[in-house]
Amino acid sequence: MADELRPTVRGRRLGSELRRLRDSAGKTTEDAAKALECSRAKISRIETGASGIRRLDLGILLNLYGVTAREDREVLEVLARDSKKRGWWHDYGDTVPPAYADFLGLEGDARYIRTWQSMVVPGLLQTEQYARSILGANPAAVRPERIEQLVEIRMERKEVLSKPDPARFSAIIWEPALRCPVGGRDVQRAQLQHLAEVAQLPNVTLQVVPLAVGATAGACGAFVMFGFTDSPNPGAVFLETLTSSHYMEQQAELDGYGLVFEYLRSSALSPESSVDMISAIAAEK
């Protein structure tokens, strides 16, 4: 029962955007409740993602908030329509904990994904053998009996890069992640070769920050940014720790991570030089 009542990531995104639009329009929850002829408590449930919203009611709120752009309205309508949909990962049952389900929901809906990784290759770019080695290296985070299912999930996630109208993926990787022989030299060499190949995809941009740069803005730790429209401003940032994961959506937080990513991009090698470095490291193995 608790799982059924738990707001979906799409529902929370919709609610968060409606709250932002209401604030920007200078409207109160009482104004919104009056427009829908409902209680303020219902508006609060909608804005936290705990309750869905009918398309008609959504249209009334968007009119109240002065949202006239067709594209903006359509994005929110799709979110409202799909807020209760089950993702493909639900077939894996409790192998996918709620926080990971949030991540997969964000990843599946994103128009673009930007990530900084200092210690490992980004999950969407991992080979099966590399993923298995990474997952098996930390028994405190992953139970051994679930490794194979998690590897399968990680491979299935790659669909976001190859589906029709795929997500645009930008990854910045610190050089140590390329040099660490995860799974042994053969596995690492195959992983580096895979990186050089996938970097040729038109929707993938891969850059490396070399050790020679010294201190980097990436000292804040690894993160993933998701954008759900063509706006350069991300809609969510996802962080992961040993025992938990969460995403951030407050504008000040998003602006901070966006700035860090731009600093990292400016200190990284060009995509072409990055592939040259990856290929050179692979040849050393």
User: Which tens digits make up the pLDDT trace of 86-132?
Assistant: 677 777 777 787 778 888 888 988 999 999 999 999 999 999 999 99
Percent of the chain predicted with pLDDT > 90: 59
Phi and psi at residue 8, to the nearest 5°: -80, 160
Residue that finishes a domain, picked among 54, 82, 110: 82
Shared domain for 77 and 102, answered yes or no, is no
What mean pLDDT, rounded, does the chain reach?
89
Shared domain for 161 and 244, answered yes or no, is yes
Q: Which of 97-106, 196-205, 239-248 has the lowest mean pLDDT?
A: 239-248
Shared domain for 234 and 185, answered yes or no, is yes
Question: The domain that contains 94 carries what CATH number?
Answer: 3.30.870
> In this predicted structure, what is the pLDDT of residue 4?
42
Shared domain for 165 and 210, answered yes or no, is yes
Please tell me the distance from the alpha carbon of residue 130 to that of residue 37, in angstroms, as a whole number.
Answer: 55
Shared domain for 58 and 148, answered yes or no, is no
Query: Is the pLDDT reported for residue 25 higher than 80?
Result: yes
Please tell me the distance from the alpha carbon of residue 190 to that of residue 211, in angstroms, as a whole number.
Answer: 22
Shared domain for 151 and 275, answered yes or no, is yes
Confidence bin at 1 (pLDDT 50/70/90): very low
Give the alpha-carbon dihedral of 285, 203, 79, 104, to 10 degrees: -10
**Domains in the chain: how many in total?**
2
Angle at 219 between CA 214 and CA 222, to 5 degrees: 125
> In this predicted structure, what is the pLDDT of residue 175?
97
Strands ordered across the beta sheet of 236-240: 204-209, 168-174, 112-117, 223-227, 236-240, 245-248
Tens digits of per-residue pLDDT, 126-178? 999 999 999 998 877 778 888 999 999 999 999 999 999 999 999 999 999 99
278 vs 104: which has the higher pLDDT: 278
Shared domain for 110 and 30, answered yes or no, is no
Shared domain for 47 and 93, answered yes or no, is no
> In this predicted structure, what is the pLDDT of residue 279?
96
> In this predicted structure, what is the pLDDT of residue 240?
83
Question: Average pLDDT in the 50-73 region?
Answer: 91
Shared domain for 175 and 47, answered yes or no, is no
212 vs 84: which has the higher pLDDT: 212
Question: Average pLDDT in the 194-206 region?
Answer: 97
Q: Please report the DSSP string for 87-121 in residue order.
A: PGGGGGGGGS-HHHHHHHHHHHH-SEEEEEESSS-
> In this predicted structure, what is the pLDDT of residue 7?
62
Question: The domain that contains 50 carries what CATH number?
Answer: 1.10.260.40
Shared domain for 8 and 104, answered yes or no, is no
Structural domain containing residue 27? 2-82
